[in-house]
Structure 1
Amino acid sequence: MERRPPMGTRTGYRLVKVGELLVGLAEEVLAPLGVRSKHVHVMETLLAYDGLSQQDVSRLLGIDPNVLVGVIDELEAHGFAERRRNPEDRRRHLIHVTAAGRKTVDKSRTMLTEAEDAFFASLGEDEIAVLRAATDKLLAAHRPGWVPETC
């Protein structure tokens, strides 16, 4: 008899398990670059909104400020990001991605796209579109500030 986890019938549990698989896949794919998914997540955000404060990144990504400090410290240690004084408020710093960080993000985009394409290969394009729409709806309903995908 094949056994399943008792929670296996719950949609939330299934989403968590898919998320765990995707995070594990991302970590495996990114390891040769010397980064983890959390690093790429922060760098992608910094590239999209150049020169954010740590507080802005924390709010935007929903990452605890204390955790984010460690992530940014790691990015700085690898030469992927740097803190610069805010010219409008010298007491604060803005975080910027370095040239090395940009190069790493560019490589990670290709690697993650290939890995995700392989992961979702068992779904058709219509199923992927439904999945994206459903997750957008859930995130918009439960995560303040979430902006649904428009493309």
Structure 2
Amino acid sequence: MQRRPPMSNRTGYRLVKLGEMLLTLAEDALAPLGVKAKHIHVMETLLAYDGLSQQDVSRMLGIDPNVLVGLIDDLEARGFAERRRNPEDRRRHLVHVTDAGRAAVEQSRTLLGAAEDGFFAVLDEDQRDVLRDASERLLTAHRPDWAETDC
């Protein structure tokens, strides 16, 4: 007999479980590219806001600076990103996505789009719109910086 976890009636619990499922789905979809969702998240941010420092990316994405250094090291090792000295402040580095990184991001958009389409296929377009709107309202209400950026 299959039983649901005791907290399964809580909306927050359900959202966490859906988030876990979507992260696993994303990781599986991105595996052929040799990257993880967090790598794509960093590269998408770097592409959206050209000329960011590691500190800027860390603050914007809420990633611990030490963790971000490792992510950027991974991206550099794969040839997807490079650090360049900031011409205005030689003590700082700006991080840029390379052509290979841009190609990986383009491929990831296709892979992630297909994975999400499959996951959300049980919902019709109106239901997807409601979910998008509700999640937008919650994020805007509880993360004030959400409304200030396009991430």
Q: TM-score, normalised by structure 1?
A: 0.95
Question: Per-residue displacement from partner, 1:17-63 (whole Å, max 9, x unpaired)?
Answer: 00001000000010010100000000000000111001111111111
Give the equivalent residue in structure 2 for 1:28.
Answer: 28
Q: Count residues with an aligned counterpart.
A: 150
Instruction: Answer yes or no: is 1:83 the counterpart of 2:75.
Output: no
Instruction: Answer yes or no: is 1:47 the counterpart of 2:74.
Output: no
Counterpart CA distance in 2 for 1:24 and 1:2 is: 22
Q: 5+ unaligned residues in a row in structure 1: which ranges?
A: none
Aligned-residue Cα RMSD (Å) equals 1.5
Q: 5+ unaligned residues in a row in structure 2: which ranges?
A: none
Give the equivalent residue in structure 1 for 2:119.
Answer: 119
Give the equivalent residue in structure 1 for 2:107.
Answer: 107
Q: Percent identity, please.
A: 73
Query: CA shift at 1:143, angstroms?
Result: 1.5
Question: Per-residue displacement from partner, 1:65-92 (whole Å, max 9, x unpaired)?
Answer: 1111111110011110000000110100
Query: CA shift at 1:148, angstroms?
Result: 8.1
Give the equivalent residue in structure 1 for 2:15.
Answer: 15
Query: CA shift at 1:119, angstroms?
Result: 0.4
Secondary structure of the 1:145 match is helix
User: Is contact 1:137-1:148 (8 Å) kept?
Assistant: no
Counterpart CA distance in 1 for 2:109 and 2:23 is: 15
Residues 103/130 of structure 1: CA separation in 2 closer, same or farther (3 Å cut): same
User: Is contact 1:140-1:148 (8 Å) kept?
Assistant: no
Secondary structure of the 2:147 match is coil
Structure 1 segments of 4 or more deviating over 4 A? none
